[in-house]
Amino acid sequence: MIPGYFWLIPLAAVFVLYMAAQFFGMMKREPAGTERMVEIATYVRNGALAYLKQQYKVVALVFGIVAIFLALLAYRFNLQNGWVPFAFITAGLGSGLAGFIGMQTATQASSRAAFAASQSLNHGLRVAFRSGAVMGLSVVGLALLDYSFWFVVLNHFEDAWPLNDRMILITETMLTFAMGTSLQALFARVGGGIFTKAADVGADLVGKVEEGIPEDDPRNPATIADNVGDNIGDVAGMGADLYESYYGAILAAAALGAAVFPRGDADLQMKAILAPLLIGAAGAVLSVLGIFVVKTKENASSLELLRSLGLGIKFSGICILLASLLIFYLLDFPDMLWQLWGAVVIGLVAGEVIGKSSEYYTSQAYAQTRHVAEQAKTGPATVIIGGIGVGMLSTAIPVLAVVIGTLLAFFLNQGRENNIIMGLYGISIAAVGMLSTLGITMATDAYGPIADNAGGNAEMSGLGEEVRKRTDALDALGNTTAATGKGFAIGSAALTTLALLASYMSAIKGSMLNIGKQSVMLDGNNILVSTLTLNDIINYFQIHLLNPKVLVGLFIGSMLSFVFCGLSINAVGRAASSMVEEVRRQFREIPGIMENKAIPDYAQCVKISTSSAQREMLIPSLIAILSPILVGIILGVSGVVGLLSGALSSGFVLAIFMANSGGAWDNAKKYIEEGAMGGKGSSAHKAAVIGDTVGDPFKDTAGPSLNILIKLMAMVSVVVVGITVSCS
């Protein structure tokens, strides 16, 4: 009963993973650099691996507990499907594996990229970019492979139900697997974010400010931890984050696809389920093509290379637009070809607008960041006020882009029958469209931290000013593409959560039947649960905005996004303090560090960051897991929908604010370092450094974690819908 064209999806996954292996091999064949370079890289790799090992231990423990809970839910209380505990684990494994591959690649690539940069800028870029592509392709390949596997397994074993119901069961079950990716991503982002910023802030406060030694100086005990942090937060963290976005978006669309035709044509239903997966698969393959487009320009200047990067992305984007049109055409949806394709276009355009807006607000090429730099002239207070003001104003364009995109995708697809689910399916297809270029956009993202680390390696190995300049240039190129990447992650999170909200509502009916509720009283009539429409369910549970449970849920959701940020920001503050004390201790107790006569105890700093991160990431994660369960038990379905809507609407805006404030401060500092407002060493520069430090936990810890928080809360709600419905 699985149609033949389905097999294109695992085929694409295998092809993409094969290409990732090829790129990995290319990177490995590059010379690893001088002995000193290899030594430094080894320090960093060992630190990163030690961290990951520790992190995966904690994650394994939490996954174990959650899996037992899910198993109890499934086998003891019959409130969840029996496959969920297993697939929850494989989803988490896939995400962890992608992060691990990315970090393995990145840590091996840094000395090679530094060495390549010592030969030429272009050579450096090529090594870094190819290494970034390894993670980009691993993420999409592993995700596609994982759900292909489960789709086949579930289809094979769950054959007792009638076909239509079975497809709903399968897609809803698969959606709950995504909770594994969200949980893994939250740990990776929060833990990684705390690690990297504790090390960064700690290293800077003692090294740069107190001792007056430059960034990445090997005499600074925290410098290895700082470089380890880049790999953990920006490589492994981002990998897990985008794995989660990609996985969740495609599965949410598939689940809605199944619900669009619940009693209709099973063939149509299958098409609606597989369309987002096929778009994902096509996007993955076409990303490889885009990567080769970038690769062809071997001897170009750095500006041309940036343009070439952009060309690669644009090329992939246009190919995907054509491919998705072809997919919808070949699937032969009746009367929906242009509407669905329109949703893909809307998604890609909205993502592009959000990315460009981030760039506008955070790049020193434009007025906003220059205005922040200008305010550094009157000191740290005004630069911080300026950055917060700019960040808050910067929320307008992304929100409007999502708002307009949502409305267009919805009304284009709901059709003349005002079919809400069909409209929501349109929104979820827009999210898939936005993420379809992930393979290549992530390659351009991931090469940034690799270039950054290459710079650290060059500095510590004493490769000289020229090489450092080249790696800095590569890093700066990466910042531009990273802003776009963050925009895609935030925007797709909003669209996906809207789709998850819908999936949550559709999952309710199954839950009611599951707990033995056969009929309900609605408007004075006794109605069979199996015949309830979405509107009936909305009415029955009073999911409207005058229900105080909904309003109260909104308040709690909004408050939780602030509390979550507060916890992770405080965690960075505390962890940075421990780091400062440790670095001061080493300077005090190990004589000869400053004279290069003794080697600092790098491992101890890595250990401190590691244990802080592990300790501090638990409470924020518990909030995400427990709040939907508790709200569900106390306030029922309406409270949970309020909670998710509140977390989504506040968290989305808060995330943009924090990301863009942080970005504006970072680049205002860079702008001043390039010579504006008195340049390096001026009082404006000192003020800007303070702004940048404040922005670190904003943009690299709290901000990017919020997207995951929102989705994880939605996923948990879907998973425990049985409990919530029993308590409503």
Site for a second copy in 644-683 (CB under 8 A): 645-646, 648-650, 652-654, 657
Q: Where are the alpha helices (DSSP H) in 83-222?
A: 84-119, 121-157, 163-203
> Is residue 79 a contact partner of residue 511, using CB atoms and an 8 Å limit?
yes
Residues 328-357 that bind a second copy (CB under 8 A): none
Instruction: Please count the other Cβ atoms lying within 10 Å of the Cβ belonging to residue 48.
Output: 27
Residue 550 contacts a second copy per CB under 8 A: yes
The smaller minimum CB distance to a second copy, of residues 547 and 611, is found at 547
Query: Counting contacts by CB under 8 A, is residue 89 touching a second copy?
Result: no
**Could you say whether residue 457 binds a second copy (CB under 8 A)?**
no
Per DSSP, the three-state class of 517 is coil
Among 52, 250, 569, 605, binds a second copy (CB under 8 A): 569
Q: Which of residues 571-610 bind a second copy (CB under 8 A)?
A: 572-573, 576-577, 580
Least separation in angstroms between CB 559 and a second copy: 4
Q: What is the longest distance spanned by two Cα atoms in the chain?
A: 86
What are the tokens at 401? 């882009």
Closest contact distance (angstroms) between CB of 240 and a second copy is: 24
**Measured from the CB atom, is 378 or 519 closer to a second copy?**
378
Name which position in 136, 491, 557, 636 contacts a second copy (CB under 8 A): 557
* Window 501-540: contact mask with a second copy (x via CB under 8 A): xx--x-----------------x----------x---xx-
Of the two residues 144 and 205, which places its CB atom closer to a second copy in the complex? Answer: 205
Stated as kind and residue range, the H or E segment containing 571 is helix 548-589
Distance CA 466, CA 468 (A): 5
Asked whether position 22 contacts a second copy by CB under 8 A, the answer is: no
Distances 346 to 102, 248, 412, 431 between C-alpha atoms, Å: 30, 19, 11, 9
- Strand-pairing partners, residue 521, are 526
Binders in 684-713 for a second copy, by CB under 8 A: 690, 693-694, 697
- Binding segment (CB under 8 A) for a second copy, from list 548-556, 588-596, 674-682, 706-714: 548-556
Q: Is 222 in the site for a second copy (CB under 8 A)?
A: no
The answer to the question of residue 260 lying near a second copy (CB under 8 A) is no
- H-helix or E-strand spanning residue 519: strand 519-522
Nearer to a second copy, 121 or 571 (CB): 571
Minimum CB distance to a second copy, residue 216 (Å): 19
Please state the φ and ψ torsions of residue 120, each to the nearest 5 degrees: -160, 155
For position 284 contacting a second copy by CB under 8 A, the verdict is: no
d(CA 391, CA 408): 27
In one-letter notation, the amino acid at residue 69 is F
Question: Which residue has 């990567």 as its token pair?
Answer: 291
Which residue stretches of 30-78 are H helix? 35-71
Residue from 238, 494, 617, 664 touching a second copy (CB under 8 A): that is 494
Q: Binding to a second copy by residue 285, rule CB under 8 A?
A: no
* Nearest alpha-carbon partner for 2 in 271, 348, 394: 271
Which span sits near a second copy by CB under 8 A: 273-281, 299-307, 351-359, 423-431?
423-431
- By beta-carbon proximity to a second copy, the closer residue of 60 and 618 is 618
In this chain, which stretch among 8-16, 140-148, 407-415, 602-610 interacts with a second copy, using CB under 8 A? 407-415
- Give the DSSP letter of residue 5: G
Q: Is residue 380 within the footprint of a second copy (CB under 8 A)?
A: yes
Is the Cβ of residue 375 or residue 480 nearer to a second copy in the bound state?
Answer: 375
17 near a second copy (CB under 8 A): no
| Nearest residue to 40 via CA among 114, 132, 135, 101 | 114
* SS3 state of residue 521: strand
Query: Residue 520's beta-bridge partner residues?
Result: 527
Cα separation, 51 vs 59, in Å, equals 12
Query: How many chain residues interact with a second copy (CB under 8 A)?
Result: 85
183-212 residues in contact with a second copy (CB under 8 A) are 201, 205, 209
Q: Which of residues 386-405 bind a second copy (CB under 8 A)?
A: 386, 388-396, 399-400, 402-403
Question: Considering beta carbons, is residue 19 or 432 the nearer one to a second copy?
Answer: 432
First vs last C-alpha separation in the chain: 37
Which of 6, 410, 447, 540 lies at the binding interface for a second copy (CB under 8 A)?
Answer: 410
User: From CA 289, how far away is CA 310, in angstroms rounded?
Assistant: 14
Closest to 166 (Cα-Cα) out of 270, 277, 274: 270
Q: Are 55 and 188 in contact (CB under 8 A)?
A: yes
Which of 79, 532, 543, 664 binds a second copy (CB under 8 A)? It is 543
Judged by beta carbon, residue 477 or residue 569, the one nearer a second copy is 569
Distance between CA atoms of residues 220 and 208, nearest Å: 9
